[in-house]
Amino acid sequence: MLKVGIVGGTGYTGVELLRLLALHPEVELGMITSRSEAGTRVSEMFPNLRGRVDIAFTEPAPEALKSNDLVFFATPNGTAMRLVPELLEAGVKVVDLAADFRLRDPLLWEQWYGLPHACPELLQEAVYGLPELHRERIREARLVANPGCYPTAVSLGFLPLIESGLVAPGAPLIASCASGVSGAGRKAAVPALMGECGESFKAYGVAGHRHLPEIRQVLGGVAGAEPDLTFVPHLLPMVRGIHATLYARCPPGSDLQALYEQRYAQEAFVDVMPAGALPETRSVRGVNQCRLAVHRPQGGDTVVVLSVIDNLVKGAAGQAVQNMNLMCGWAEDLGFDSVALLP
């Protein structure tokens, strides 16, 4: 059994990670930390885990964390980078669900996250944990940077077009994306109140969002040149889900449906839907799945790709478990045996 620790388990990503790990046949949950809730039983805070997780939150003591084989960080940005070097030195593998190791350039990280990076020497070693792109590197990694939720939906949607060369390097791309309110985290904030976001729809981060350089880095690494990407996120009045509507210019005549089906034919967690389909966020609620549909409206040169994920699963905790499976040499889909919730 793999002994696993979780740092920062009181947020939505943390409880989702607990839910998935509680069902994993090869994992023993060694500890889960929270400074504010130390001593509180997990099932008291999250009653859905009664009978599944029978431990209490503890202080995040580095020596105790070293007793684990692998540690997940489900913490605010800027936390993992202060503890990870010591864990790696002790032989503990790490999956960071925050943004501390996603960007390779420490100056770019400081620009977008507002503080100097504590261990810039690890940024080049950290493997960006999008399995559909970096599977073999993840297998050998000791430090994985779990992708953001928007970058997961956007990257999986654009990858076939960029890899095939149908979209030229540097060509304009547009990503219009919408997320449920859980993407903002489990904290008291006026914009997340039902009376503020319910029955409403708005854009945010139009001038610049932290996931923009991450998406550019992923797509630029494939294309060989950073894309001319316009990324606009929106807040949806629902709890879970991301819907990404992606636009690109592509010469007519290409069989885009075949392109997408072939690219993802062997991917357990990417479902290319039939031609003309309109994927819904509810179809991936609670599962580690990205559903895609590709369209060419009126047969023109504009391609529209629709991409949906659950922001807490394929966009966070589920992808982290998928990465853990790869790092441990297990079947990639081990522990994932559930169906999306409907209605």
Q: Residues with catalytic annotation? A: 149
Q: Tell me 28's DSSP state.
A: E
Give CA–CA dist 334/23, Å, rounded: 10
DSSP string for 29-62: EEEEE-TTTTT-BHHHH-GGGTTT---BEE---H
Are 332 and 131 in contact by the 8 Å Cβ rule? The answer is yes
Give CA–CA dist 170/225, Å, rounded: 6
Give CA–CA dist 140/136, Å, rounded: 7
**CB 112: neighbour CB atoms within 10 A?**
18
Rg (CA), the chain: 20
**CB 283: neighbour CB atoms within 10 A?**
17
